[in-house]
Amino acid sequence: MENLHLLPATKLAEMVRNRELSVTQIAQATLARIDAINPKLNAVIYVDREQILDDARKLDGAVQRGDHLGPIHGVPYTIKDNTSMKGLPFTSGFKPNHGNVGTYDADVYTRLRDAGGLFIGKTNLPEFGYYGGCEGHEYGAAHNPFKHGYSTGGSSGGAAASVAAGITPLAEGNDGAGSVRIPSALCGTVGLKPTVGVVPDTLFPNRYHSFLFHGPITRTVADAALMMDVWAGTSDADPKTIEKPVPSFLAAIAGDVRGMRLAWSDDLGTGVHVDPEVLAICRDTLKDLVQLGVRVTEASPKWEADISKAMWDGLWVPAFAEVYDLYDWKTLRGQVDDNLIEIMQAAETTTAVDVGRASIVRGKMWDVFTAFMQDYDVLASPTLASATFPHGHFSPEWLHGKSVREQILDWLLTYPFNMLSNPALTIPAGFTSDNRPVGIQFAARPRKDALLLRLARNIEEIRPWADAYRSI
């Protein structure tokens, strides 16, 4: 079938259920797509062809027997290399971890498997996913599918690149400061960071982090909702998990958004420089929102302190300190990025007082956000201050020479919602004049994930982006 690689998960699952397409045919087409495009992208870093075909045959057997089929029966998906699958590569993109394998199956994997999904492989990321790019010593750089030699973003860069390029319709990403939304914006895909506790998380040894999330990366909004239906729900593996907020995310995306109150902010009140072309592309979306009946107002939260510094001192550096004792960092220069070593050095000097002060700022952020959102249902902004930039650049050009903290955080409009633990979603907004994707971000109150997906689905209908993938 022509363009099978561009069919959404919802359509593939329907065709498998109706016996219009076998899972083996899907597997063979997926492997052919990997052969055709992955050598240029370096997005998928582990594939077991025999296992894929064997799994496909078993899934076909279930169809032939008339077994009950899960919601994604036969649909291909990938897992990021910092998410554990027992016995499979688990390096987190970190060269000193070369040869490591997972010791347990993460819930986000088992739930996709048990829903009938066809596991295809593991995806590329920078070492320990420490920044918003995808260039590392272990696997090398992943390439943006729309502009070779340019960043995919990160840290779920391989996931977003592979979805945009039609390797799989579904990919697991994870997000500590924007790592689902950054690559989704730079690669032109849909990426959702859910509310804390909706999707089980076991990424770090500390099970109580409220800024780390697994999230779906897809080409369509319906596919993101479908993944959320598979994933959401309580788990003994994660003490933060909550009951599914809606009976069905897929069902909840139906309906219009007339009367929805939306605040538009150019920079989320952070004061960071936003590329004028990126801003213009995102603002162009506002007229479509108005056409949909959304009430758009320009307004920004007024944070009471430096939230970038609070993110760094209170969350980012302390989280990476959890792996500090596992390695002799002073001996690793040349094997890992110097900037990651600098984060570990910051962990040595960041004090409990620094963490405490940052925690207070985070609490005040919550107060500001909840008061602000009394007047709005959704807060929208550019996802990022920049479109993709060439490999070898750690950040947009205007941040070169700044501190590691500024280069990592000060072009992101994603991390405030990690600090707030509320849902945030990016969808494609358009392309720059030289064909680099741009994303627009929507955020809402906690447990309003379905509302964001419904808004995005309405925008997708009036401002479709699916044809863009045909150029890859």
- What is the b/e burial string over 399-427, where b = at least 16 CB atoms within 10 angstroms of the residue's CB? beeeebbbbbbbbbbbbbbbbbbbbbbbb
| Neighbour tally for 243: CB within 10 Å | 10
As a whole number of angstroms, the distance between CA 120 and CA 97 comes to 22
Omega before residue 155 within 30° of 0, cis: yes
Per the CB < 8 A criterion, the answer to whether 343 and 316 are in contact is yes
CA distances 400 to 141, 340, 396, 407, Å, are 20, 16, 7, 7
As a whole number of angstroms, the distance between CA 368 and CA 372 comes to 6
Rounded to 5 degrees, what are φ and ψ at 446? -55, 140
How many helical (H) and strand (E) elements, i.e. helices and strands, does the chain have? 17, 11
As a whole number of angstroms, the distance between CA 125 and CA 240 comes to 26
Pairing type for strands 378-382 and 261-264 reads parallel
In what helix (H) or strand (E) does residue 39 lie, and over which residues does it extend? helix 23-41
For 371, the token pair is 């008061």
State the DSSP code for 467. G
Question: Which of these, 316, 285, 322, lies nearest to 418 by C-alpha position?
Answer: 316
Question: Which of these, 207, 115, 121, 110, lies nearest to 162 by C-alpha position?
Answer: 121
So which residues are the catalytic ones?
A: 80, 155, 179
State the DSSP code for 304. S
End-to-end CA distance of the chain: 18
Please name the residue that has the structure tokens 């070593």. Answer: 341
For 311, the token pair is 């993110």
